[in-house]
Amino acid sequence: MTKARFVIILAFCLSGQAWGQTLKRVASIDLPGPRGQRFDYLTIDYEDHYLFSAHLGPGILYVIDTRTNRLVKAIPGVPEITGVEYVPGLKKVYTSNRGENKVGVVDLNQMKLTLRIPLKDQPNGSTYAEPFGKMYVSTYGTEEAIIDVRKDVLVKSVQFTGTGMPQYDSTGRKVYVNLHNGKIAEIDPTSDTVLGQYAITGCERNHGLALDAKGRRAFVLCTGNRTFAVFDLDSHRSVASIPLPAGCDVVKFDSGLKRIYVACSSGAISVIQEQDPDHFRKLEDFQVEPNVHSLAVDTETHRVYAPEEQDGGRQVSRMVIYDALTGSGTGKHF
């Protein structure tokens, strides 16, 4: 083989090189809820180092210590819990109780549910705008419910045509809400007025949402056409589009590693690297059990948490913990 031919073949091989494994399973926690039943959203409390996990099927909120990987408390009485959001400083967690059309308030000092706030529709994903003391809760209907966390009362509802996941932009101090019609809405939390609704190019039935607030990017999951869309929060235009496995549901951003994780219920966690706000590459579709459609990422330890309801066809109820791996390679650029 000539030297020139060898160089060409080597370059071709390197250009298609897989990035390598991005996650390594390091632990799992068996949970007391019934096996084989659906989990939903997770979130992290960095003050107490707790992971909160919603077990939708039996209506249980799990509190897990991320330092010891031990279950601290299983809190019942949250029917069909979907969303879960922590409020720093107040030692409270808000649960979206789909089964009763209410938002639950959990007192972490007592480790129990202390209040239920009625809504018109079934609550789902939520986000906390800390400087404004407001919780924004999307519903399965047409409203974005806004709760004053100091008084624990519903203060306003903003009407849309189908709402997905909301997120608070800590840099721009705005709230963004995925709308199921391929648009994203911008809300000013000072007045709770809608500043605009912006189309996301090539996006069908958008639901999951995460933000890179400093990079001014929104990461949108378009479940209708299995697409990960990157949206510029300032110019209101689409920047990139990446295909995903079926069942994409929840997306999280690790701001330290500039890495995005997408939970897909078909049996994969898609791992996408942000090289800069305009360039992204898929590193891997990391294989997991089917029906893993939610996850959380600890931006301090870079660990990823994903609940499982089955293992090789056997029903389970557990939390799986992964370490993030870094290495060299190209991945697929977009």
In terms of Cα–Cα distance, which of 184, 180, 125, 192 is closest to 154? 192
In terms of Cα–Cα distance, which of 118, 116, 124, 81 is closest to 99? 81
Give the pLDDT confidence of 113-165 residue by residue, as tens digits: 999 999 999 999 999 999 999 999 999 989 999 999 999 999 999 999 889 99
93 in a domain, yes or no? yes
290 in a domain, yes or no? yes
In terms of Cα–Cα distance, which of 267, 284, 334 is closest to 18? 284
Please count the other Cβ atoms lying within 10 Å of the Cβ belonging to residue 287.
Answer: 10
Looking at residue 9, what is its pLDDT?
A: 32
Task: Judge contact between 117 and 152, C-beta under 8 A.
Answer: yes
Task: Judge contact between 9 and 33, C-beta under 8 A.
Answer: no
Q: Whole-model pTM?
A: 0.92
**Domain total in the chain:** 1
15 in a domain, yes or no? no
Which residues constitute the domain of residue 313? 20-333
74 in a domain, yes or no? yes
Residue 245 belongs to a domain with what CATH number? 2.130.10.10
Task: Judge contact between 209 and 164, C-beta under 8 A.
Answer: yes
232 in a domain, yes or no? yes
7 in a domain, yes or no? no
Tokens of 153: 């009362």
CA angle 244, 80, 164 (to 5 degrees): 40
d(CA 138, CA 164): 6
246 in a domain, yes or no? yes
Please count the other Cβ atoms lying within 10 Å of the Cβ belonging to residue 278.
Answer: 12
Tokens of 306: 């994903």
Which residues of the chain fall short of a pLDDT of 70? 1-19, 328-334
User: Residues with Cβ < 8 Å from 221, sequence gap 6 or more?
Assistant: 206, 207, 208, 209, 227, 228, 229, 244, 248, 249, 250, 251, 262
Helix (H, G, I), strand (E, B) or coil at 67: coil
11 in a domain, yes or no? no
Buried b (16+ CB within 10 A) or exposed e, 153-168: ebeebbebebbbbbbb
In terms of Cα–Cα distance, which of 150, 99, 111, 98 is closest to 129? 150
d(CA 140, CA 129): 21
Chain centre distance of CA 164: 12
Tokens of 175: 């709230």
